[in-house]
């Protein structure tokens, strides 16, 4: 199995969870309008941090990648497939927050702890 396939699986799961989270919200258009810029800035920062720190870790020998399991495209020493994991986290974490935050608000409104 290649890193690209693993990366696509992570991204697919994150996108499905986000789609479910947005489908359950009535204010999804407002959310997307408010979140696109912070998500874009966060994505750019994550890409820079991934490039810097992965290059350092690969450079000092903490990680190695077989050429047979990567696409061959690299940013410095980092295979481009490595950038999919922070992108998946950028999508998945807010989606999980949306899914769990609604329940927490409902419990508070109904008088439960939470």
Q: Is the pLDDT of residue 104 over 60?
A: no
Pairwise CA distance, residues 40 & 61, whole Å: 31
Which pLDDT tens digit goes with each residue over 32-51? 888 889 999 999 999 999 99
Confidence of residue 5 (pLDDT cuts 50, 70, 90): very high
Pairwise CA distance, residues 109 & 24, whole Å: 18
């Amino acid at each position: 199995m290649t890193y690209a396939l693993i990366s696509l699986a992570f991204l697919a799961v994150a996108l499905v969870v986000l789609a479910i989270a947005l489908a359950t919200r009535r204010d999804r258009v407002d959310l997307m309008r408010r979140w696109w810029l912070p998500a874009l800035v966060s994505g750019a920062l994550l890409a820079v941090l991934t490039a810097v720190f992965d290059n350092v870790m690969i450079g000092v020998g903490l990680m190695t990648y077989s050429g047979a399991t990567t696409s061959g495209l690299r940013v410095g020493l980092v295979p481009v497939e490595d950038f999919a994991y922070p992108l998946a986290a950028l999508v998945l974490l807010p989606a999980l927050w949306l899914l769990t935050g609604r329940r927490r608000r409902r419990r508070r409104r109904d008088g439960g702890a939470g």
